């Protein structure tokens, strides 16, 4: 009897282990086929198919009249995926179904740019629309992934159709997320928009923040570098003699302390000239002597003043 029960137990354990191995191998093969057959989508030819009148009319009715909130909520909560984290994957998607919110850094920058004290959900209306659309797009993926993860056998055409749908969904989600980031970055840092493509690997896939800490740090580094480049370009020219400091002009006098404001020693304080009666014709020439006291510029003293003195002789 004991031997018989032991043999039964061993048969049970072996059958359970074999079923476990079969399920693990089937899941591994399904994941392998999921990644491998995406290359087959490119080779797919266009397939024509018919949609029944009833189905098309139902879809048209939903589009025109909309879906009630109760039905929409039930559809959104019908599937709850548990995303497993792959440690070997280059991109983590463990928080894929978390709709990211605006980072605190960009929220503060938007408040400063717009001179607004609005709350984070209301600081930018376009971001508000994009975030609402992201909720719907993420909910669309849940029943799609449910169909992809089913172990039941399906035809090769159905498999390729589901994977084509997955590809289009991923593209839509990526485009909306990119539009959200581009919308914010255009307003806060328009000179660094190219960083979205150059530092794409630093952007998170899902999660709490739209940009993430790594991207924010990269942006701050880029802004500091650009600031240093601009300040160095505004400094001494590259053709100046190295080792010699550029002489700065003497500071201007404060006009509140010295009403004369004669900087650079080009002008001197004029003497008080008494009021005199001058003829109308050629009266400019009579100010020549005063000009000689007002300026030390050789251009005025040599050419203009001497010229006016010779003109004064014609009216004297």
Quote the pTM value: 0.60
Domain that holds residue 156: 67-84+93-233
Classify each residue of 219-243 as buried b or exposed e, where b means 16 or more C-beta atoms within 10 Å of its C-beta: beebeeeeeeeeeeeeeeeeeeeee
Q: Flag whether 282 is in a domain.
A: yes
End position of a domain, from candidates 218, 233, 248:
233
Q: Based on the domain organization, do 98 and 209 belong to the same domain?
A: yes
Q: Based on the domain organization, do 97 and 222 belong to the same domain?
A: yes
Q: Flag whether 245 is in a domain.
A: no
Q: Flag whether 309 is in a domain.
A: yes
DSSP structural state of residue 117: -
Tally of domains in the chain: 2
Q: Flag whether 22 is in a domain.
A: no
pLDDT string in tens for the chain (316-residue length): 444 454 544 444 444 444 444 444 444 444 555 555 556 677 777 888 899 999 999 999 999 999 889 998 999 889 888 877 767 666 666 678 889 999 999 999 999 999 999 999 999 999 999 999 999 999 999 999 899 888 788 888 888 888 889 999 999 999 999 999 999 999 999 999 999 998 888 888 878 899 999 999 999 999 999 888 888 876 665 444 555 555 555 554 554 444 444 444 555 555 555 555 666 666 666 666 666 667 666 666 556 666 665 555 544 5
Q: Based on the domain organization, do 125 and 194 belong to the same domain?
A: yes
Q: Based on the domain organization, do 302 and 157 belong to the same domain?
A: no
Using an 8 Å Cβ cutoff, are 109 and 211 in contact?
no
End position of a domain, from candidates 204, 233, 262:
233
Q: Flag whether 55 is in a domain.
A: no
Q: Based on the domain organization, do 302 and 162 belong to the same domain?
A: no
């Amino acid at each position: 009897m004991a031997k018989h029960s032991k043999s039964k137990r061993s048969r049970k354990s072996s059958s359970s282990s074999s079923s476990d191995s079969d399920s693990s191998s089937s899941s591994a093969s399904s994941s392998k086929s999921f990644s491998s057959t995406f290359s087959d989508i490119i080779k797919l030819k266009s397939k024509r198919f018919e949609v029944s009148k009833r189905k098309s009319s139902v879809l048209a009715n939903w589009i025109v009249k909309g879906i009630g909130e109760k039905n929409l909520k039930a559809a959104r909560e019908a599937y709850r995926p548990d995303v497993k984290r792959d440690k070997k994957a280059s991109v983590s998607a463990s928080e894929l179904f978390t709709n990211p919110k605006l980072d605190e850094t960009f929220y503060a920058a938007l408040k400063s740019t717009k001179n607004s004290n609005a709350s984070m959900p209301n600081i930018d209306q376009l971001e508000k629309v994009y975030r609402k659309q992201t909720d719907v797009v993420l909910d669309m993926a849940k029943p799609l992934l449910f169909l992809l993860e089913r172990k039941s056998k399906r035809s090769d055409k159905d498999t390729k159709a589901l994977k084509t749908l997955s590809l289009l969904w991923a593209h839509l989600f990526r485009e909306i997320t990119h539009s959200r980031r581009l919308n914010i970055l255009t307003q806060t840092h328009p000179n660094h928009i190219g960083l979205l493509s150059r530092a794409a690997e630093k952007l998170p896939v899902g999660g709490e923040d739209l940009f993430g800490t790594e991207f924010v740090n990269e942006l701050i580094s880029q802004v500091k570098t650009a600031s240093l480049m601009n300040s160095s370009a505004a400094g001494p020219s590259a053709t100046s003699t190295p080792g010699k400091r550029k002489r700065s002009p003497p500071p201007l006098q404060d006009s509140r302390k010295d009403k004369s404001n004669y900087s650079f020693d080009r002008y001197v304080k004029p003497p008080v000239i008494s009021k005199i009666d001058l003829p109308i014709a050629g009266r400019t020439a009579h100010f020549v002597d005063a000009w000689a006291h007002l300026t030390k510029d050789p251009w005025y003293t040599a050419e203009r003043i001497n010229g006016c003195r010779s003109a004064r002789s014609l009216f004297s």
